[in-house]
Amino acid sequence: MQEMFLRYGVDKQFVIDTLWTFIPNVLSALSVVFFSVLFYLITSRIFEAALRRTPMQPSLIKITVRSLYRGVIIIIALIFVFGKLGVNVTAALAGVGVVGLAIGFAAQQTLANIFAGFGIFIDDLFRKQHWIKIGEHYGEVVDITLRTTKIRTLDNTLINIPNSMVSSLPVVNLSEQGILRITTTVRIPYSESVEYTRKVLLLALRKMKGALKDPAPHVVVKELGESGVDLYVRIFVAEPGYEQRYFYALTELCKQTLDEANITMPFPQRDIHIVKEKPKKRKVVKKKE
């Protein structure tokens, strides 16, 4: 060790004095880190428990405590640590501000997603396990972050949608009201009684598994079509996310019920009338010689 000091021209006593001066600062910085971590672990649980008593969404509570609050604690702890190590904190903060401004300009889209994420939480558009439709995307909400909304589709694929896109598109929440109406259309001929068809269908719908009794199923006339009378057959279910399954089951049940009641379902048809016209007799005009 002595030879290394002599080789590089370093004063051994100067190194020892510097270390003895620097070590207390390092120990003070480490103590700041330790107490900051301890402070966060204790207060974060209290803070999170207090927020859970409010109407705030669990996802927003998680982001507030584990991201924003933790970030504030880390920044304050770093300021104290740099101060203990003798770093000019004022100059460092100024530099950080300039860097942050540059990063803000470079990450405008990310900031737009973050602000949109806060808008989603404030408006309470949807929550985890809700079934929603955003544009052409439909599925169950798996997670909501400040940048993206993650939904699982019926094909069991995970889609990450930027929050800025979520805020700019119509959002259909199928789970918010708890029940969902399923509708299918059937067609009967004009010669068939609408009232009789309604009674037959309602009798079958009341026995359909999953169909709610309140609100009750109903059958109404949609329109008088070219080839028959179109009816809306509607049920209500309490399982959002399974509307396609219920739609297919409802359509099949309607077909089976009409077949058993000998009610035919007409197909488009046209009547063509052919009119034959008798040829007109022409008068022959004789020329005078």
Q: Does domain 180-260 have CATH number 3.40.50.300?
A: no
Q: Which residue would you say has higher pLDDT here, 60 or 148?
A: 148
Q: Which residue would you say has higher pLDDT here, 122 or 13?
A: 122
pLDDT-based confidence at residue 29 (cuts at 50, 70, 90)? confident
Please write down the HEC assignment for all residues of the chain.
CHHHHHHHCCCHHHHHHHHHHHHHHHHHHHHHHHHHHHHHHHHHHHHHHHHCCCCCCHHHHHHHHHHHHHHHHHHHHHHHHHHHCCCCHHHHHHHHHHHHHHHHHHCHHHHHHHHHHHHHHHHCCCCCCCEEEECCEEEEEEEECCCEEEEECCCCCEEEEEHHHHHHCCEEECCCCCCEEEEEEEEECCCCCHHHHHHHHHHHHCCCCCCCCCCCCEEEEEEECCCCEEEEEEEEECCCCCHHHHHHHHHHHHHHHHHHCCCCCCCCCCCCCCCCCCCCCCCCCCCCC
> pLDDT tens-digit profile of 128-150?
888 888 888 888 999 888 788 89
Mean pLDDT of 171-197: 89
Domain extents in the chain: 2-106, 125-173, 180-260
User: What is the CATH number that goes with domain 125-173?
Assistant: 2.30.30.60
Regarding the domain delimited by 2-106, which CATH topology (the fold level of the hierarchy) does it fall under?
Helix Hairpins (1.10.287)
